[in-house]
Amino acid sequence: MSRAILGRKVGMTQIFDESGHVIPVTVVEVGPCVVVQKRTPAKHRYAAIQIGFEEIPGRKLAKPNRGVFERLELKPQRFLREVRMSAEEVEAYKVGDTITASIFNAGEFVDVVATSKGKGFQGVVKRFGFRGSNATHGTHEYRRHGGAIGCREDPGHIFKGRGMPGQMGNERVTTLNLRLVKVDAEQNLVLLRGAVPGHRGALVLVRKAIKHQAKQGK
């Protein structure tokens, strides 16, 4: 069985559990995804399946990509991703099979991979949580500066990784161990407890939790 599926972030809301407590959840529309290709150890030296998400008109694809789908007799897909799995699991799939939200069950844990919101060029206070300088005693126009970055004559350069102003956000982020509160297989919706990276409508990859399974000895 596939361990991951592509989808889009719908947004956040809240639901109530049986005890009446409020649970903040993120709604994600996952799939349906189509198996486009298979990777086998004999031919590719690793085992995986390539899944496609979100059908688009063929004219919006480059000719080489369009030819791949025409040869496989599949409808063109906007996004393609590979999902690693064992060779036995790969053999259980055929090109053209559909993967839906039914691969998940309520109560289990998943990881979500997405691109975080871009926040543009930011200073060190917002980007790294610097304290900033004093607001009194002669401080002028340096309240949110990072201070001196010099390293004396030796070594005479700035070490890599020094916190400085720069681009913030718009990078690949993986949120681990989010609990699946509810799975609606008919509408291909899953409700995840907590926040998920990305803006509304962002492409996300939802996979079964890796570290949580290792911790439980699975």
Mean pLDDT by 10 residues, the chain (218 residues): 86 90 93 89 91 82 80 86 89 88 90 94 94 84 84 82 92 93 90 93 92 62
CATH topology of domain 119-168: Ribosomal protein L3; domain 3 (4.10.960)
pLDDT of res. 215: 57
Bridge partners, 174 (sequence order): 113
Give 4-118+171-215's CATH code, choosing from 3.40.50.740, 3.40.50.12280, 2.40.30.10, 2.40.128.130: 2.40.30.10
Sequence ranges of the domains in the chain: 4-118+171-215, 119-168
pLDDT of res. 217: 54
Q: How far is CA 126 from CA 101, 118, 152, 172, 175, in A?
A: 37, 13, 27, 19, 21
